[in-house]
Amino acid sequence: MVAFFTVHHTFLPGKAEGWWARLASWDGVAVAKAWNAAGFHCHTFLAHDVAGPVNCLWETKADMSLEEFEIWIDGPHGPGQGVFANKCYKAIEGAAPPASHFAAGSPVQALVPPAPGTGSTFWVHHVFKSPESAKRFWAWLGGLKPEDWAQFAWKNASLGFYNHSFMPCGLEGPCYCVWESKRPIALTEFQAFMDGPDGPGAGEVFHNTVYRSMPGSALPVSKFPSAANTVRRFLESLNDSKMDKGVKTAVISDLLADEFQSTMEADSINKAQIIGMWTNLVPKMWDLPSSKYTIDHCFENGSTGLVAVKMRSTMTALPDAIFFDGETKIGGKVVKDFVYVGFYQVKDGKLVSAMGRADSLRKHLGIAGEAQPLSASVKNA
């Protein structure tokens, strides 16, 4: 039986800057895999600021006591031994945590943070105003029916909000919640919602301390997906040299609709072919760790719904690399400022189609002749 824990991290004096510097060099997928293998999964990592605080929501594959979890999170295999003062809480009955990662079979795509949505993400530290307010809250909560919860969700959505998780840590509190807004809003606006008549407790139950998650946080899967951010995450995943084949396959598959088609010049390739090319063929041609790519533009056109992208790459062919024609050796050759321009259609958080143009690789590599359609062996790598 799984268990859920929420952690309020506070940086120890002088530790924040060094920790962020180390985090930049982490192989996030490898770290998450190691945690999963040990029976731990981090659902969200929500940093308010580089100076903190941070809220994390963890799941354990087997039930454990709060003391056992604290030993792990404070130890050498946790996210920052000697860096944080960790205040840990175990969720009690009545919590509304995310869907269980371990019950779902530990999907590897969940090891990569999802693309940000169209708005802002917040976490809230709720403290009951009094013992009496806590008793009233629990009595009210215990009387709710499924249709009441559905009504709350509908009302929140109509106001442009979604509650991802509710983590009560004891009958006396505190409670932690994660919320998302449909549009970017300031901390003060979200505070007003939390403390007002439409917030949890209608302003009469909790003292609410709200925190806005900064860019770079590991967010929950967005209820309000951004088409442009979804395309950006797709392109980042294609070019991520740290992802192993299994993770990259799962992530790309999760981002593409089953009917996905990409048209480039006279060529058209489908979802399975995209995955095969980027997990089997491309790693045999290019030295991905040394490659550099820059997304110059990635934005959604409000009138067409298409996401426009311009990207530039510089890459070096591996020593034994063979060109797409299956015969021309390109080992060691460098392609500089290879430009790609594309337009993507996104629906319900998944890429449905793409069309684009790119520089001629033949020209960059000094190979004579005009560009040719990709062969079946290349498309079905």
The DSSP line for 193-228 is HHHSTTSGGGGSSEEEEEEEPPTT-BPPPPSSB-HH
Kindly state the tokens that stand for 251: 């992530």
What CATH number labels 3-212? 3.30.70
Q: What is the pLDDT of residue 356?
A: 86
Cβ partners under 8 Å of residue 185, min gap 6? 119, 120
The C-alpha atoms of residue 257 and residue 5 are separated, in whole angstroms, by: 33
Question: What does R_g of the chain's alpha carbons equal in angstroms?
Answer: 24
Q: How many CA atoms lie within 13 A of 75 on its CB side?
A: 8
DSSP character at residue 267: E
pLDDT tens string, the chain, 381 residues long: the values are 899 999 999 999 999 999 999 888 888 888 999 999 999 999 999 999 999 999 999 999 999 999 999 999 999 999 888 899 999 999 998 899 999 999 999 888 888 888 999 999 999 999 999 999 999 999 988 888 889 888 888 999 999 999 999 999 999 999 999 999 999 999 999 999 999 999 988 888 999 999 999 998 999 999 999 999 999 999 999 988 888 899 999 999 999 999 999 987 667 889 999 999 999 989 999 999 999 999 999 999 877 779 999 999 999 999 999 888 788 899 999 999 999 999 999 998 899 999 988 777 888 888 876 666 666 666 666
Q: What angle do CA 372, 376, 377 make, to 5 degrees?
A: 105
Q: Where are the beta strands (DSSP E) in the chain?
A: 3-11, 40-47, 54-60, 84-90, 121-128, 161-168, 175-181, 206-212, 256-264, 267-270, 292-300, 306-316, 334-347, 350-358
The C-alpha atoms of residue 127 and residue 184 are separated, in whole angstroms, by: 26
The phi, psi pair for 246, rounded to 5°, reads -65, -45
> What are the tens digits of pLDDT across the range 85-95?
999 999 998 89
- The gap between the terminal CA atoms of the chain, to the nearest Å, is 41
Q: What is the pLDDT of residue 140?
A: 87
Domain 227-379 in this protein, CATH class: alpha beta
User: What is the greatest pairwise CA distance in the chain?
Assistant: 82
| Domain extents in the chain | 3-212, 227-379
> What are the tens digits of pLDDT across the range 14-66?
999 999 998 888 888 889 999 999 999 999 999 999 999 999 999 999 999 99
The C-alpha atoms of residue 315 and residue 328 are separated, in whole angstroms, by: 17
Per DSSP, the chain holds a count of helices (H) and strands (E) of 12, 14
pTM comes to 0.86
The C-alpha atoms of residue 290 and residue 352 are separated, in whole angstroms, by: 30
